[in-house]
Amino acid sequence: MDEKDRILLHLLEENCRTPITELAVLAEMSEQDVKDRITWLESTGVIRRYGAVIDWERAGDGNVTSVIDLKVSPERDFGYDRIAERIARFPQVRSLRLMTGVYDLQLLVTGSSMHEIARFVAEEIAPMDRIRETATHITMKTYKENGTTFAEREGVERLPYSF
């Protein structure tokens, strides 16, 4: 993968609906080269999926989002991979990452209520073999998602200047 591919990836990540003609201008490539490179990036699995950033609160969706941190005992010869594969199968799990720090795995989970998320953690995640500890954090408000700012203010608030 070269620099042109990286430029295309950044542009598509910013807005996957950018027209090919505009991508070609921004990446300083021909339209056919852009099409060919995107096709190759899709076929090799570099581009996994296209999607939209949605303000679910504004859309009137009552779903609750939470971050769940897990301490996990790694499995000999497999590390965290097999437990992560099992957890990833749950439709409630939107993202799953191996992390550094106090906790090992971090999940982004959605549910219709805090009670549903609590039940999911208590009944499905916590009892799993190798899960040693869970910490659930409920999202109260989203200000920015995947590079898109949700908070919109009427005027710009200026801070007083002092010495």
Domain boundaries, given as residue ranges, for the chain? 3-43, 64-142
Q: How far apart are CA 16 and CA 47, in angstroms?
A: 11
CATH classification code of 64-142: 3.30.70.920
3-43 and 64-142, same CATH topology: no
C-alpha to C-alpha distance for 72 and 162, rounded to whole angstroms: 50
Region 46-59: mean pLDDT is: 86
Q: 96-132 pLDDT, tens per residue?
A: 999 999 999 999 999 999 999 999 999 999 999 999 9
| Closest by CA position to 34, among listed 50, 44, 21 | 21
Whole-model pTM: value is 0.78
Q: What is the tens place of the pLDDT at every residue in 26-46? A: 999 999 999 999 999 999 999
Tell me the CATH number of domain 3-43, given options 4.10.860, 1.10.3210, 1.10.10, 1.10.3470: 1.10.10
